[in-house]
Amino acid sequence: MSPLFLLMLMFGDEPKKTAVATAKPQVKRVTSATLEFAEMYTATARELKPSEKLQSLHNKQVRVTGFMAEMENALKGGFYLTPMPCHCDESGGGTGDIPPQAIRVVLAYAPERELPPAEGRITVTGRLEVGAKTHAEGQVSHVRLVLDKAPQPTKRQPRTPRSKPLPKK
């Protein structure tokens, strides 16, 4: 008989496990819900109403994927996230070119920063706010995604065709 076989007979086939107390650091993970632009509103004969899902996500961490609206005059401390690429000419009509389901992304960590337009689809995660709010420049937003800290770089997503800018008058 082999010595290994004898040891297994004497002590059993499984080695005895000793309990060792190891403290693992508790990492609090914040899970975020995903919101699609098509889930934001329900249409009635007269108006668009905020959907139950949109209202249930108020003040919660939410992840939204879309396109950064290219504005003629860049917003300070934020940008608009839209379901499709768009270029907005604010002269005369204000933000009338922005689709109704656009989300204003607020950079709470950099309120004076102007961001250049991003090409392609982007994903933004932050705290969702629902309800009318007038901003410093006088624009009113109904849905906002507040970023309290700068997003970490992620793997670059493939480019998508950009909309053509409006001709200058």
pLDDT classification of 82: cutoffs 50, 70, 90: very high
Inter-residue contact 126 to 62 (CB < 8 Å) = yes
Return the DSSP state at 166.
Answer: P
CATH entry, 29-147, from 1.10.1760, 2.40.50, 3.10.620, 2.60.40: 2.40.50
Query: Given a cut of 80, is residue 10 above it in pLDDT?
Result: no
pLDDT classification of 53: cutoffs 50, 70, 90: very high
Inter-residue contact 129 to 108 (CB < 8 Å) = no
Return the DSSP state at 76.
Answer: B
Which span out of 75-84, 149-158, 159-168 was modeled with the highest average pLDDT?
75-84
| Percentage helix, strand, coil for the chain under 3-state DSSP, each rounded to 5 | 10, 30, 60
Domain spans of the chain, in order of start: 29-147
Q: Which residues make Cβ contacts (< 8 Å) with residue 141, sequence separation at least 6?
A: 104, 132, 133, 135
How many percent of the chain have pLDDT more than 90?
29
**pLDDT confidence of residue 4:** 46
More confident residue, 136 or 13: 136
